[in-house]
């Protein structure tokens, strides 16, 4: 009954009450703090950077009561990255001085664009993310649960990018982010991981 209520009532009706359309998100990382990054998931939703300001490009709709979560894997500046590397560029100078804005504790700038349901021009919003020396163990339950979902997906696919993520870590993080949500979705996800762990042993 909970699943039917969630799918047939909330998920179907939410797009009928949009609060924003053609919503786009653009993240710029500060090279002083981040040497490389990778978006986890959402590969089929990536747009060219030129499309961010183009109001003729279709994008996602945010319905009433909905939220969007994006996770990035970051490599801190100064930490070597795995890979084969590339040849030096011929027409661009590598290592040119960074702008003064990079000399701050800002790790990233996040920009969003979205249109009101009855408008054709988007509105730009921008905010910065500053460096914080917080450990993952002190993260919120919601953040740990989101990390558990990402780890579970990469572990199931045996993704080459999974690092030390596995089913057991996903289960641990999901339990730390468990709380009695309205339709029991978090508990259902934890049971799903438990079944995957049982099948893998």
**Is residue 73 over pLDDT 80?**
yes
| Residue 46: predicted pLDDT | 85
Domain-embedded: residue 32: yes
Q: Are residues 38 and 108 in the same domain?
A: yes
**Is residue 1 over pLDDT 60?**
no
Domain-embedded: residue 91: no
Structural domain count of the chain: 2
Q: Are residues 67 and 129 in the same domain?
A: yes
pLDDT band per the 50, 70, 90 thresholds, residue 129: very high
Domain-embedded: residue 49: yes
| Residue 193: predicted pLDDT | 96
| Residue 13: predicted pLDDT | 54
DSSP codes of every residue in the chain: -HHHIIIIIIIHHGGGSEEEEEEEEEEEE-TTTEEEEEEES-GGG---GGGTT-TTS--EEEETT-----EEEEEETTS---S---PPPSSS-TTPPPPGGGSSSEEEEEEEEEE-TT-SS-EEEEEEEE-----GGGS-HHHHHHHHHHHHHHHHHT-TT-TT--HHHHHHHHHHT----TT-HHHHHHHHHHHHHHHH-
Q: Are residues 64 and 110 in the same domain?
A: yes
Q: Are residues 51 and 145 in the same domain?
A: no
* CA 190 to chain centroid: 20
**Is residue 82 over pLDDT 80?**
no
Q: Are residues 24 and 117 in the same domain?
A: yes
Q: Report how far apart the first and last C-alpha atoms of the chain are (Å, whole number).
A: 32
pLDDT digits (tens, 9 = 90+) for 6-55: 555 555 555 567 888 999 999 999 999 999 999 988 777 888 889 999 99
Q: Are residues 201 and 123 in the same domain?
A: no
Domain-embedded: residue 85: no
| Residue 103: predicted pLDDT | 86
| Residue 78: predicted pLDDT | 85
Q: Are residues 66 and 143 in the same domain?
A: no
**Is residue 83 over pLDDT 80?**
no
Domain-embedded: residue 92: no
Q: Residue 161 is part of which domain span?
A: 135-201
| Lowest-pLDDT choice from 7-16, 61-70, 153-162 | 7-16
Structure-token match 């709709």, residue found: 61
Domain-embedded: residue 163: yes
Q: Are residues 106 and 170 in the same domain?
A: no
């Amino acid at each position: 009954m909970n699943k039917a209520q969630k799918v047939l009532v909330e998920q179907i009706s939410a797009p009928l009450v949009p609060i924003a359309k053609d919503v786009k998100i653009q993240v710029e990382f500060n090279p002083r703090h981040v040497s490389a990054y990778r978006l986890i998931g959402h590969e089929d939703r990536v747009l060219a950077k030129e499309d961010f300001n183009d109001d003729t490009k279709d994008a996602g709709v945010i319905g009433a009561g909905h939220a969007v979560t994006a996770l990035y894997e970051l490599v801190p500046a100064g930490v070597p990255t795995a890979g084969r590397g590339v040849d030096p560029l011929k027409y661009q100078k590598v290592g040119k001085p960074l702008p003064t804005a990079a000399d701050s504790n800002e790790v990233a700038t996040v920009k969003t664009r979205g249109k009101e349901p009855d408008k054709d021009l988007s509105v730009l919003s921008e905010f910065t993310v500053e460096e914080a020396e917080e450990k993952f163990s002190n993260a919120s339950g919601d953040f740990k649960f989101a990390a558990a979902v990402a780890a579970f997906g990469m572990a199931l696919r045996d993704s080459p990018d999974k690092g030390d993520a596995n089913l057991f870590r996903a289960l641990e993080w999901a339990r730390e982010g468990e709380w009695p949500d309205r339709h029991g979705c978090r508990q259902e996800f934890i049971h799903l991981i438990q079944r995957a762990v049982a099948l893998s042993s």
